[in-house]
Structure formats: structure tokens, C-alpha cells
């Protein structure tokens, strides 16, 4: 019970992060925003890399035969440039990913789904400078000159910008607003599994015959639930898992028989076969309906709707 509750909590969280973009081809695609924790970590990773880069270059500059004030000036100039162009360079070269983002598998995309342009990247990273680095630097100088008002002002400026993505709609920071971008988490790879209807070619004959009326009871949702079950059964390798699957499949089989009034008894060793054949027959039937614009979402769908636009799940 507790596990199930956690699962719904996770899916609720995911639903909050779900966004639909329209690609330039006009195809709606769903994707998930990255959460602020991931972005924060990515930013930390990048900061560490920046500090490391500056450190390396400082060592190189320290080896040059020049006077001390020139050396410090050069170092400060170079570190200014690095902090200014690090993000821009990497997000340009790696199509919207800095090393930290790559490490955490998140990416910058345009909020409206159009192509991510070079200048969206430049805009969002220039604004980062004004959001965080400049106010922190000014804060340091204000503290140095013991100006309480200014130091409070710059600190609250940086904090406000820092907290901005926690409150904005698409978790955008001010730079994202200006660049028209948002940060998403990269999709995990999904494998294409075997087609369950392929079984039909392997079978010599169909053993179970269903009438049109029997196939008209269930809808898409039930079909896909059955699909999940059959795929799980295919995945089950260990004897224990197979046994558990057989048990639950027997229950499902019995339920289906009762619901569609399939009166012939199904012997236990034929349960899997029965479910597979029912799946194929039901899918064929429902997909034929789709060809004519008839869509039955679930068994609760009383009338078959005509011409209903497809929903994006």
C-alpha cells in the first residue's frame, strides 16, 4: 500500500514537470522539465570547472616572465573572460549543454519548440552574468567599503534571481525568459519491443474465436493494460516470476471470460494463448474502428466518438 502511494506521488511530480512543445514540423511532443535540484548541481559542477580552468591558466600566466602587477591584471582579465564565455561556448558547441548539464543529462531547448539559436544561448548566459556574478562581485566591493545599504541591495538581488526558477512557470530563470528557453531533462532511451501480434504468424490456426459483440466491450485502456501484462509475461525469466505471472493471468482470463460472456472453458495451460489471441483480435477490431474515426477510450466509453482529435498522453 505504501509503495503504491509513493508511486502516485512520483507520477504527480512528473505531471507537474510535463510540457508539450510543437516541433517545427508541427508535431506535438511531450517532454519533462529538469527539476531545480538537477540544475543547481549542474551549475555547481560548472562552477568547479570554471575555478579549475582559472586556476590552470593562472599557473600558466605565473610562469610568464612579466612583472607582478601585470600578471595579476592579466589573470583577472582572463578569469573575467572565462566566466563570461564558458557557458556560452559550451552550450553553443554542445547544442545546449554545458559540461555540468551534460553530466546531469539536462539540456536547453526553446520553449516554443523552434530551433535553439546561437543567440538564445548567448542571451541566457549573458543574463546569468547580471543575475549572479556581477551582483555578487558588487556585493563584495560594497562589503569592502562597508556600505550596508548597497551590500544588502546586491545580496538580495542575487538571491532573488537565484530563487526565480523556483517560482516561474516553466522553471525559467530571468536569462531563460530573455532567451525564450527552458531546461529539460533528456529522455531516457526506450527500446522497441517485439510486436505482440507477430504471434499470429507463428500460430497455425486460431483456437479461440470471438464474436464482434464480444470484442466491442473493451476499449483502448483495457487493451493496453493487457498489453502491459503480456509484455511483463515475456520479460519474466525466473521460475518464481513466471509462476506469479501465470497466477495473475489466470485471474485476468477468468475476469475477461465473465465480462465478455465467453462460455467455453479455458484450460489452465491455454491461458496465455487465450489472452494473446484475445489481444490480437481486440486490437485488430479497435484499430479497424480507428480507421473510420471511431475511438473507444475504455470500457466506460458508452458511445463511440466520431472524429475526436487524438489525445497526447
Q: Contacts with other proteins in 217-276 (CB under 8 A)?
A: 220, 223-224, 227-228, 231
- Tell whether residue 106 is a contact of other proteins (CB under 8 A): no
Piece of 47-55, 74-82, 247-255, 265-273 that binds other proteins (CB under 8 A): 74-82
Largest CA distance in the chain: 97
Q: How far is the CB of 126 from other proteins (least distance, A)?
A: 5
Place of cell 591584471: 73
What distance in Å separates the CA atoms of residue 181 and residue 183, rounded to the nearest whole number? 7
CA contacts within 13 A on the Cβ side of 86? 24
Site for other proteins, residues 271 to 300, rule: CB under 8 A: 280, 283-284, 286-288, 290-291
Interface with other proteins in residues 196-215 (CB under 8 A): 196-198, 200-201
Instruction: Give the residue from 249, 295, 242 showing the smallest Cα distance to 275.
Output: 249
How many residues bind other proteins (CB under 8 A)? The answer is 78
**C-alpha grid cell for residue 20?**
508539450
3-class secondary-structure state, position 280: helix
Contact stretch for other proteins (CB under 8 A) within 4-12, 24-32, 248-256, 266-274: 24-32
Site residues for other proteins, 118-137, by CB under 8 A, read 118-123, 126-127, 129-131, 134, 137
Q: Provide the grid cell at 131.
A: 543575475
Pick the stretch among 21-29, 207-215, 246-254, 266-274 that binds other proteins (CB under 8 A): 21-29
89 counts as binding other proteins under rule CB under 8 A = yes
Closest CB 48 distance from other proteins, rounded Å: 23
CB of 175 to other proteins, least distance (A): 9
Nearer Cβ to other proteins (14/70): 70
Q: Could you give the C-alpha distances from 3 to 10, 14, 179, in angstroms and in order?
A: 11, 17, 41
Nearest CA-CA partner of 284 in 171, 173, 205, 197: 197
Task: For other proteins, give the closer residue by CB, 177 or 252.
Answer: 177
List the one residue from 69, 265, 267, 302 that touches other proteins (CB under 8 A).
69
Q: Is 18 in the site for other proteins (CB under 8 A)?
A: no
Measured CA to CA, the distance from residue 295 to residue 237 in angstroms comes to: 36
62 lies in the site for other proteins, by CB under 8 A: no
Nearest CB to other proteins, comparing residues 49 and 199: 199
Q: What are phi and psi of 40, to 5 degrees?
A: -60, -45
Pick from 132, 122, 112, 127: nearest CA to 181: 112
Question: Cβ(281)–Cβ(210) under 8 Å?
Answer: yes
Stretch that binds other proteins, among 42-50, 187-195, 245-253, 299-307 (CB under 8 A): 187-195
By beta-carbon proximity to other proteins, the closer residue of 35 and 168 is: 168
Q: Which residues of 89-107 are buried (b: 16+ CB within 10 A; e: fewer)?
A: ebbbeeebbbbbbbebebb
Amino acid at each position: 500500500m505504501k509503495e503504491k502511494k509513493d508511486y502516485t506521488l512520483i507520477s504527480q511530480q512528473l505531471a507537474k514537470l510535463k510540457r508539450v512543445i510543437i516541433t517545427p514540423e508541427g508535431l506535438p511532443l511531450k517532454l519533462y522539465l529538469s527539476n531545480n535540484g538537477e540544475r543547481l548541481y549542474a551549475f555547481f559542477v560548472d562552477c568547479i570547472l570554471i575555478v579549475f580552468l582559472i586556476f590552470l591558466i593562472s599557473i600558466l600566466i605565473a610562469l610568464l616572465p612579466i612583472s607582478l602587477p601585470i600578471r595579476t591584471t592579466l589573470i583577472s582579465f582572463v578569469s573575467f573572460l572565462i566566466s563570461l564565455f564558458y557557458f556560452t561556448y559550451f552550450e553553443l558547441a554542445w547544442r545546449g549543454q554545458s559540461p555540468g548539464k551534460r553530466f546531469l543529462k539536462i539540456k536547453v531547448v526553446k520553449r516554443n519548440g523552434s530551433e535553439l539559436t546561437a543567440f538564445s544561448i548567448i542571451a541566457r548566459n549573458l543574463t546569468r552574468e547580471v543575475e549572479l556574478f556581477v551582483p555578487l562581485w558588487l556585493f563584495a566591493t560594497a562589503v569592502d567599503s562597508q556600505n550596508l545599504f548597497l551590500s544588502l541591495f546586491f545580496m538580495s538581488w542575487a538571491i532573488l534571481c537565484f530563487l526565480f526558477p523556483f517560482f516561474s512557470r516553466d522553471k525559467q530563470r530571468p536569462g531563460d525568459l530573455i532567451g525564450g528557453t527552458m531546461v529539460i531533462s533528456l529522455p531516457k532511451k526506450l527500446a522497441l519491443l517485439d510486436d505482440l501480434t507477430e504471434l499470429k504468424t507463428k500460430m497455425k490456426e486460431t483456437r479461440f474465436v470471438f464474436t464482434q459483440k464480444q470484442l466491442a466491450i473493451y476499449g483502448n485502456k483495457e487493451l493496453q493494460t493487457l498489453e502491459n501484462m503480456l509484455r511483463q509475461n515475456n520479460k519474466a525469466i525466473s521460475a518464481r516470476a513466471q509462476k506469479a505471472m501465470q497466477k495473475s493471468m489466470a485471474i485476468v482470463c477468468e475476469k475477461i471470460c465473465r465480462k465478455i460472456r465467453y462460455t467455453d472453458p479455458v484450460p489452465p495451460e491455454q491461458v496465455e494463448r487465450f489472452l494473446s489471441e484475445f489481444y490480437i483480435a481486440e486490437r485488430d477490431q479497435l484499430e479497424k474502428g480507428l480507421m473510420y474515426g471511431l475511438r473507444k477510450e475504455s470500457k466506460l466509453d458508452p458511445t463511440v466518438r466520431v472524429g475526436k482529435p487524438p489525445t497526447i498522453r
